[in-house]
Amino acid sequence: MYYVGIDIGGTNLKAGLVDEHYQLVATKKMPLQFTSMEQMGETLTDMALALLEENHIARDQVASIGMGFPGSVDNRRGVVIKTVNIPIRFMPVAEMVHRRWDVPVYLGNDADCAALGEYYHYGDEKLESLILVTLGTGIGTGIILDGKIQAGFNGFGGEGGHIVIVHGGEPCTCGRKGCWERYASASALVRQTKAAMEANPGSAMWQMTGGLEQVDGRTAFAAMRAGDAAAKAVVKQYLDYLAEGLANFINIFQPEVIALGGGVSHERDEDLLVPLQSMVLDMCFGREAERHTKLVKAKLGNDAGIIGAALLGVSG
Amino acid sequence: MYYVGIDIGGTNLKAGLVDEHYQLVATKKMPLQFTSMEQMGETLTDMALALLEENHIARDQVASIGMGFPGSVDNRRGVVIKTVNIPIRFMPVAEMVHRRWDVPVYLGNDADCAALGEYYHYGDEKLESLILVTLGTGIGTGIILDGKIQAGFNGFGGEGGHIVIVHGGEPCTCGRKGCWERYASASALVRQTKAAMEANPGSAMWQMTGGLEQVDGRTAFAAMRAGDAAAKAVVKQYLDYLAEGLANFINIFQPEVIALGGGVSHERDEDLLVPLQSMVLDMCFGREAERHTKLVKAKLGNDAGIIGAALLGVSG
């Protein structure tokens, strides 16, 4: 038996076949060309069927199709409510697929699907809970409790990047001020790095990058390792903001695992996970508990979305 | 069939019988006199059995006993891990009860039990989720998703009052700075009211109270209704802090209902719930959703703890 997963991004569609051991055994990728919701429904069905054909899989060997959308979904009704960057509003995806193929269709938010993928791939033992925190342009969070995505009663939950941690702080795209992602996303780290360079004309970061345009999320970490004091201060401050939000999540959920994803998560453990783990343990309730939330690096990388979408059929 | 619930407080033990319709039909109260965990186990068993006897209920008419403790519990193993204000550490409550009565024993945190009580008493239709936010000395939160208490994998979760909303803000008893409860608990409101009075010698709050010692959580609301400008500013600022934390919770959970408990929740709807509902809707994701989190007043008052402890047996 196989599970089909489709990860719908702003520019590409990625489909994959996942086997009973939750492993990705085949993929298919194509650019997204959105003209209408009707056409999009056809394209998604075509893509899933083509994936089967290319891999000589019969329809009845497929347990379900899962799709991860960049937005909010109503999985029970099989409807995508709204997406970011693609003009989808109340698209009846399950019904569209069912016109041509009577297979169970599951829908999820893309960040939630990625978290589900990490949850099922964590290890041999069943996890109680996992939260995936992806540090990118913003901060995406996917919350999995007891194998189930927690997206709220209306599908709009799990927006953990939009937790205000600095009351009255920096304006956020969401309309509030001081959201966590304004301080602890990869983009925030880039802004903080640039500001530190401007304030420190003697910082080694200038030579290392060649200028502000070349700054990325690795700049401050690399310069810190080279002994630059300004870079060290940037990383310290950044970790402090990151830990603040992680500690908030732990005080609420005490999840078994928090997995960090996104480019920043690839920094060396001794520069990122090790200091963070000790910082959050000091900040959180449950210091005296027998077990503490484990901070780990996300495992699945770019495939998390496809695998997680496919595993919507396992999670139910 | 009946469910026995015992609410263990720092000064009193309150036990109750809850019937199949989740109604409290009998109660029993006694002062807490803690000498040892051994004696406490005996007392709790005695109390439950005495409650049955007084109400002519046979042991086999009782489906379960549930107990709510002011601390962390390991419900699966039937052990209270740690309590606040009572020196309990790793108390095997279920085993203690089972020496004399072979009945299912469920354990919960008291704030979680109260939330469970509110969840099952909300209305006729089954709720998807409810979060109880109790505004008292601190802020207690109990999170119920799909009828189950969410206390994390180690029993220390649900500490929603200890979400930092003001990075680097007022020191909290938990060791962090800027926790929500430092700004939006009933005690915080009292502090904010006193500070406003000291800054405004002409405020009507002086006449209304007779002095700082008489200030309580109602002072600013009452003076605002009497037209006092300083009081109005206090309430506005307080609601702003309260809304900030509520919006954080909604962005994470999008729960079907948030119930407010504690003395402050008894303020008139037009002064509290109505402005809060509109403030949080403006702040949260899901503005375009068909359904929004409902803010309501908690219903059960002081009995929430007993009823919720008893209903641990329904929740499982």
3-state secondary structure labels for all residues of A8-50:
ECCCEEEEEEECCCCCEEEEEEEECCCCCHHHHHHHHHHHHHH
Tell if the CB–CB gap between B163 and A252 is shorter than 8 Å: yes
Same domain, yes or no, for B110 and B41?
A: yes
What per-residue string of b and e applies to B85-96 under the rule 16 or more CB within 10 Å gives b? ebebeebebbeb
Is B307 found in the same domain as B232? no
> Containing domain of residue B238, as a range?
129-298
Note whether A114 and A139 are same-domain residues.
no
Contact residues, chain A, for B178 at CB < 8 Å: 167
Band (A145; pLDDT cuts 50, 70, 90): very high
CA-CA distance, B31 to B28, in Å (whole number)?
11
Order the strands of the B2-8 sheet from edge to edge.
Answer: B24-31, B12-18, B2-8, B62-69, B105-109
Question: Which positions ≥6 away from B203 have C-beta within 8 Å?
Answer: B196, B197, B223, B228, B229, B230, B231
Residues A179 and A212 in one domain: yes
What CATH number should be reported for the domain holding residue B230? 3.30.420.40
| Nearest residue in chain B measured CA to CA from A89 | B288
Interchain contact A128–B (C-beta under 8 A)? yes
From chain B, pick out residues whose CB is under 8 angstroms from the CB of A284.
156
Coil, helix or strand for A213?
A: helix
Of A128, A183, A284, the CB nearest to B153: A128
Per CB-CB distance under 8 Å, the chain B contacts of A283 are 175-176
- Same domain assignment for residues A195 and A310: no
User: Do A184 and A112 share a domain, yes or no?
Assistant: no
Query: What is the tens place of the pLDDT at every residue in A166-211?
Result: 999 999 999 999 999 999 999 999 999 999 999 999 999 999 999 9
Total of domains in chain A:
2
β-partners of residue A2 are: A62
Nearest chain B Cα distance for residue A309, angstroms: 21
A165 contacts B165? CB cut-off 8 A = yes
A143 lies within 8 A of chain B by CB: yes
- Looking at the structure, tell me whether residues B144 and B193 fall in a common domain: yes
pLDDT tens-place values along chain B, 316 residues long: 999 999 999 889 999 999 999 999 999 999 999 999 999 999 999 999 999 999 999 999 999 999 999 999 999 999 999 998 899 999 999 999 999 999 999 999 999 999 999 999 998 888 999 999 999 999 999 999 999 999 999 999 999 999 999 999 999 999 999 999 999 999 999 999 999 999 999 999 999 999 999 999 999 999 999 999 999 999 999 999 999 999 999 999 999 999 999 999 999 999 999 999 999 999 999 888 889 999 999 999 889 999 999 999 998 7
Candidates A112, A148, A167, A283, partner chain B, best to mutate (most B CBs within 10 A): A167
Same domain, B70 and B133: no
Q: Based on the domain organization, do A141 and A262 belong to the same domain?
A: yes
List the single residue in A150, A166, A254 with the smallest CB-CB distance to B153: A254
Does residue A45 sit in the same domain as residue A137? no
Q: Do B31 and B82 belong to one domain?
A: yes
| Token reading at A6 | 């489709």
Best to test chain A binding among B131, B248, B282 (most A CBs inside 10 Å)? B248
Q: Which residue does chain B place closest to A74, by CA atoms?
A: B289
Q: Which residues in chain B are closer than 8 Å to A176, comparing Cβ atoms?
A: 247, 283
CB contacts, 8 Å: B253 with chain A: 150, 152, 157
Confirm or reject contact between A164 and chain B (CB < 8 A): yes
A228 touches chain B (CB under 8 A): no
Same domain? For B168 and B278 the reply is yes
Measured distance CA(A128)–CA(B251) in Å, rounded = 22
Please write down the HEC assignment for all residues of chain B.
Answer: CEEEEEEECCCEEEEEEECCCCCEEEEEEEECCCCCHHHHHHHHHHHHHHHHHHCCCCHHHEEEEEEEECEEEECCCCEEEEECCCCCEEECHHHHHHCCCCCCEEEEEHHHHHHHHHHHCCCCCCCCEEEEEEECCCEEEEEEECCEECCCCCCCCCCHHHCECECCCCECCCCCECECHHHHCHHHHHHHHHHHHHHCCCCHHHHHHCCHHHCCCCHHHHHHHCCCHHHHHHHHHHHHHHHHHHHHHHHHHCCCEEEEECHHHHCCCCCCHHHHHHHHHHHCCCCCCCCCCEEEECCCHHHHHHHHHHHHHHHC
Flag whether residue A22 sits within 8 Å of chain B, measured between CB atoms.
no
B90 CB within 8 Å of a chain A CB? no
Chain B residue closest to A143 (CA)? B252
Q: pTM for the complete prediction?
A: 0.94
Query: Which chain B residue has the Cα nearest residue A282?
Result: B175
Number of residues assigned to chain A: 316
User: Strand B62-69 to strand B2-8: parallel, antiparallel, or no bridges (unpaired)?
Assistant: parallel
Beta bridge partners of A257: A130, A294
Identify which of B158, B183, B255 has the shortest CB distance to residue A252: B158
Half-sphere exposure of residue A184, counting CA atoms within 13 Å on the CB side? 31
Would you call B72 an interface residue with chain A, using a CB distance cutoff of 8 Å?
A: yes
